[in-house]
Structure 1
């Protein structure tokens, strides 16, 4: 049985099926080999919406240009062309900001790792114009966070989100803070962790030792090593249900690079991201025909988790559009829990015993008495629930 037959894809819109067929066609002859039936009964307006939603329109445009005349309406090609050009300008702007930021932080002795952005497009796609990036995701040591925040503020960046915290839970419950430059219209996500806690993950010092230098610029642009990058992309995509195909295409492109699979397997298992990694590889192998290395075997659990992620492709779900429909929010919570190892589930449940900012809001105490929120936590949780039911 082929892998494609082990996933139920009947409810995935045919427009998404066509996008996938085009994305996995690397050469013009592959695209010409697509059957005419693939282009029949397509809602082309929905095709455009899906392309934009999944953030694959730049790469898709490079494929669509090769499709023989008559199969795709002219207005579709024109729309994708317009979005491709707009994205190219944005990526060039981000490239300039990335270069500036690298020099700025280096001159102020702050070690900086770029997680996503133009360098990722350059390394995985060979061209900054073929991938979208809405911002620059960077990572620093938590010890440098305050210094970095002052540095960005002194150059016109404004903090876009203010984290509410109690007993310094922000250090592990959250993983980044956002900065926005109103004149440049550039957003930066400043990370001190790869993922929100309480999950285990490689620390900054280990990531820095395994870093690589991107060839995108003469200025040293430091990025994650291949194995760390796979862990980051797999964890990020899984956390968002693979609701955008762009993340899966990133995995497909990364697999084609020189990865030490034995090292990666140990890294995933050690940090309890082996389920997310297996899900990513299985989804990519089915939807994009990514070859899975022998060192990363697929099992029944991988197929189950991959099937759960198909839910997000069936309805063009945007997890960033809040409030989510209740059924989507409930499904997503269950799916995220199923992706956790037993170790992650234990610490996730245990984290509910740690005070939340809502506890301090409900019962304000002097800072020197904040330790009392630990024994009071169950009572405050019950109080909030009672108040919530009374209001509804």
Structure 2
């Protein structure tokens, strides 16, 4: 198939174009005229900033060492080498912690599937040092959540209790909770869902049945089957606007493995992620020079996949960090619109309907005794209206103060 998709990257900065060009270079390939020209025009401080933002410096470090170009300043290669060394230590520390957590959960009869981190680095890149991770993510059955949290506390972890809930809406509005170990400076995220609602998901038992065992260490550590991993990675990347190129690099590595495409397409369609899979493939084709093959056709011919891929270029053109508030107002507005556009018609219905379900803010606006929390359902429109009116008044007062 022809992978000359319609996404435009000519408007990308010289630094980002160089970054992408180096990432897709084959081992031992000669430096092209285009790359040579970009090497002369690049602002190297901006290049370093981009590489760190997109979390691709481990791969860049490897590629730059093989290029051995005199046009790349020494301070750049030394900077990436130091970053690579620090990341290697971080990944080794996470590997050791992952082994300890897997052992603890297994001994206590809790099934766990590691979603990212060292197991994914080893699977996709063949080396834990070639992918970055700042935490450990694992999925467990929701019925074991309370026990798992208690075990983490017994190991010295402290819960980041950021989730506020009324009438147990946390079970579907959120999909994980976080713990931090102060002494080890390690963060873990305990998932009971792969994605927040209104995403449709496989049951844990189905994911467990299709699991794989990592060969990273001798102790059994389980992670998602290849097709389930593809679905998780594309849904995660899409939800964050593909604002880090590392997620697209993961997809590039994954599609080069032996993926059962008919099985994957059935899985994506069943859980309403087919257009998300198509979006990811179109992006890696254009940005990561990944050939599109005939077996991918059912995913990439979807117009919704094309539109969402074009929408994701907004994030590629900018350095956007959705994890660090406050998010600029323009970015926040665009991201909300983008996320709504990703939803299928069915998902949009459930998303809109979810606004009728009480929010924690309702309980703050009008505190009620727990036995009367059911009243938040009929009162929600009134409480929401009052809160919106109050916000408008506060904005108007703030504006008036600024114009004085």
Normalized against structure 2, the TM-score is what? 0.94
Query: What residue in structure 1 maps to residue 326 of structure 2?
Result: 323
- After superposition, the C-alpha distances for 1:214-259 in whole angstroms (9 at most, x for unaligned) are 1111001100001110010000000000000000000000101121
Query: What residue in structure 2 maps to residue 130 of structure 1?
Result: 130
d(CA) in 2 for partners of 1:65 and 1:129?
A: 15
* Structure 1 vs Structure 2 CA RMSD: 1.5
d(CA) in 1 for partners of 2:26 and 2:99?
A: 31
d(CA) in 2 for partners of 1:122 and 1:377?
A: 48
Query: What residue in structure 2 maps to residue 312 of structure 1?
Result: 315
1:267/1:208 Cα in 2 relative to 1: closer, same or farther (>3 Å)? same
- 8 Å contact 2:138–2:190 — kept in the other structure? yes
- 8 Å contact 1:32–1:67 — kept in the other structure? no
SS in 1 for 2:62: helix
Query: What residue in structure 1 maps to residue 339 of structure 2?
Result: 336
1:38/1:152 Cα in 2 relative to 1: closer, same or farther (>3 Å)? same
| Range with greater deviation from structure 2 (53-62 or 273-282) | 273-282
Deviation at 1:291, TM superposition (A): 2.6
d(CA) in 2 for partners of 1:215 and 1:30?
A: 34
- 8 Å contact 1:272–1:343 — kept in the other structure? no
- After superposition, the C-alpha distances for 1:361-380 in whole angstroms (9 at most, x for unaligned) are 11111211111111111111
| Range with greater deviation from structure 2 (273-282 or 295-304) | 295-304
d(CA) in 2 for partners of 1:35 and 1:380?
A: 58
1:82/1:130 Cα in 2 relative to 1: closer, same or farther (>3 Å)? same
Query: What residue in structure 1 maps to residue 398 of structure 2?
Result: none
1:211/1:2 Cα in 2 relative to 1: closer, same or farther (>3 Å)? closer
- After superposition, the C-alpha distances for 1:92-125 in whole angstroms (9 at most, x for unaligned) are 0000001111111101111010000001000000
1:325/1:162 Cα in 2 relative to 1: closer, same or farther (>3 Å)? closer
Normalized against structure 1, the TM-score is what? 0.97
Query: What residue in structure 1 maps to residue 54 of structure 2?
Result: 54
SS in 1 for 2:179: strand
Q: How many residues align?
A: 392
- 8 Å contact 2:3–2:291 — kept in the other structure? no
d(CA) in 1 for partners of 2:19 and 2:369?
A: 56
Deviation at 1:170, TM superposition (A): 0.3
Deviation at 1:5, TM superposition (A): 6.0
d(CA) in 1 for partners of 2:68 and 2:98?
A: 38
1:121/1:31 Cα in 2 relative to 1: closer, same or farther (>3 Å)? farther
Q: Does 1:388 align with 2:391?
A: yes
Stretches of structure 2 that go unaligned for 5 or more consecutive residues are: 396-404
Matches within 5 A, 1:1-392: 3-4=3-4, 6-31=6-31, 35-297=35-297, 298-299=300-301, 300-392=303-395
d(CA) in 1 for partners of 2:146 and 2:30?
A: 51
d(CA) in 2 for partners of 1:344 and 1:258?
A: 31
